[in-house]
Amino acid sequence: MTQLGAFKKMKELMTLYYIEAKTAADKPIAWLTSGAPVEFVYAMGAIPVYPENYAAMCAAGHQSVALMEAAEAAGFSQDICAYARTDFGQDLVRGGPAGGLPAPQFLVCSTNICKTVIKWYEVVARKYQVPLFVVDTPFLHDGLTPGLVDYVVAQFRQLERFLESMLQKPFDRDRLIEVIRLSRQATGLWRKILDLGRTVPVPFTSLDAFIHIAPIVTLRGTQACVDYYQLLYDEVSGRAERRIGSVPDERYRILWDNLPIWFKMRRFEKFFDERRCALAAATYANSWGGLADFAGIQTRDAMEALAVSYLNIYINYGFEQRIRYLARLIDEFSLTGFIMHSNRSCKPYSVGMYRLKEELARLTGKPGVVIEADQNDPRVFADAQVEARLDAFIESMAPVA
């Protein structure tokens, strides 16, 4: 990955985060999905833990197979999401870089990333006999409507009552507003960092974003998160100003769609570097920028802003909206082509992708490729096959002007 001074700080931050989660005896632990409105949880002083983030860490550290095998031995089918299998595995054998996640006292999941998380969290709820709160963010077949925003805001009110009963204290609305402000600041900085991908050459690639995404997932809503992304922004914007690229002699600028392939980060970095390809934009990394759109949040409309930002997530979009968004990225980031990861573990991202690829290529005139892989399961990944497809795709691209 691009050598960044901030990296060390991020490692520290994440280590501290996991140490606190593992050792905090006085604060309740909540397990959350990556798209859950964590602001409410922070406002009440509970510690949010993210099985998705942990599963990704396990895969990036090449520890996911053993954990998935443990889950499969316990009866979980290989047909289910590899994140969920990795999570069930870490829970069974206390494995992965942090030696397993601390047990939850309650669960909050949101359907904006998939409906499958409901099944995953039902399993956890049953195992630990803890309450599960679902924040339902319906799929935007026809875009956002005021009715959908009201529906989500109404659930936020219920979430407050739920948290009051979990933590045995009144909900702290003032603290929530403060947390939302911090969350918005962090997502704003994150968005600004990702937008620097428009620079030629790219100073911070999508592969870098996948590494530096951990705090925005796990710590948004904290001051530490804001400070970290300020540090990272300063460093990356400095590179952008000085036109320092991440990829030597950048020739191609590419969009990455779908989750990273966590266990191939190093190999992909080398592969793309050698071919002078910079991954300049990624729909996945962009998914945590929504709140940035609400510059002047007031107490009155904070709930609406939050509802909109959690509904407006790329994989919660209908296809028309997805295509328009992808085309806009290709245009605004001066991209030469796009890679779509057909991800066995993520149906909302992947089902229908072949059609999206056809339409996007037609609309933008840019070549695209679909590769068959999985975010977390190396056993269904074939290097030679994937790289041969990528090579053919790279040959089909016209280099950046």
Partner 1 sequence: MFTPFYAAIADISATIRRHRDRLGRPVIGVLPAYFPLELIHAAGGYPVQLWGAGVAIDHAEAYLQPYCCSVARSVLELEMRGSAELIRAYVFTSLCDTLINLRELYRRLFDKPILGLSFPVTQTAEGRRAFLVDAAEEIIKGLEAVTGRRVSPDALRESAGQFGQLRSLQRELYRLRRERPGAVKNADFHAVLKAGFFLPVEEYGRLLESLLAGLESLEAPAGRRPRVVLSGMVFDPLEAQRLFDEIGADVVDDDFASGWRTVSKATLQVDDPVEGIAEHVFGGAPCCCIHHPKNDRHDYLVNKIRDAGADGVVFWYVKFCEPDAFDRPQLLARLKQEGIPATVVEMDLSMKSVESLRTRIQAFCEMIGGLEI
The count of chain residues that interact with partner 1, using the rule CB under 8 A, is 48
Choice from 32, 49, 134, 326 touching partner 1 (CB under 8 A): 134
The CB-of-223 to partner 1 minimum distance in angstroms stands at: 32
Q: Is there binding between residue 171 and partner 1 (CB under 8 A)?
A: no
**Residues of span 178-217 touching partner 1 by CB under 8 A:** none
DSSP 240-271: HHTT--SSTT--EEEEEES---GGGHHHHHHH
User: Interaction with partner 1 in 206-265: which residues (CB under 8 A)?
Assistant: none
Spatial distance between the Cα atoms of 357 and 106, rounded to a whole number of angstroms = 40
Sign of CA dihedral 210, 79, 108, 308: positive
Question: In 290-384, where do the E strands start and end?
Answer: 337-343, 368-373
Q: Is 395 exposed, middle or buried (0-12, 13-18, 19+ CB in 10 A)?
A: exposed
Each residue 55-94 as x (binds partner 1 by CB under 8 A) or -, in order, gives -------------------xxxx-xxx--x----------
Whichever of 66 and 123 has its CB closer to partner 1, that residue is 123
Q: Where does 258-322 show beta strands of DSSP type E?
A: 277-282
Cβ of residue 138: shortest distance to partner 1, in angstroms? 5
CB atoms within 10 A of CB 173: 13
List binders of partner 1 among 327-366 (CB under 8 A).
Answer: 342, 344, 347-348, 350-355, 359
* CB-nearer residue toward partner 1: 79 or 395: 79
In what order do the strands lie in the sheet containing 277-282? 277-282, 252-257, 337-343, 368-373
At a CB cut-off of 8 Å and minimum separation 6, what does 231 contact? Answer: 6, 9
What's the min distance (Å) between Cβ of 355 and partner 1? 5
Element (H, E) at 125: helix 116-128
DSSP letter (8 states) at residue 298: -
Please identify which residue in 61, 143, 248, 318 interacts with partner 1, judged by CB under 8 A. 318
Binding mask 278-317 for partner 1 (x = CB under 8 A): ----------------------------------------
- For position 396 contacting partner 1 by CB under 8 A, the verdict is no
Q: Which residues bind partner 1 (CB under 8 A)?
A: 74-77, 79-81, 84, 111, 114-116, 118-120, 122-123, 125-127, 132, 134, 136, 138-139, 141, 145, 147, 150-151, 154-155, 158, 318-320, 342, 344, 347-348, 350-355, 359, 372
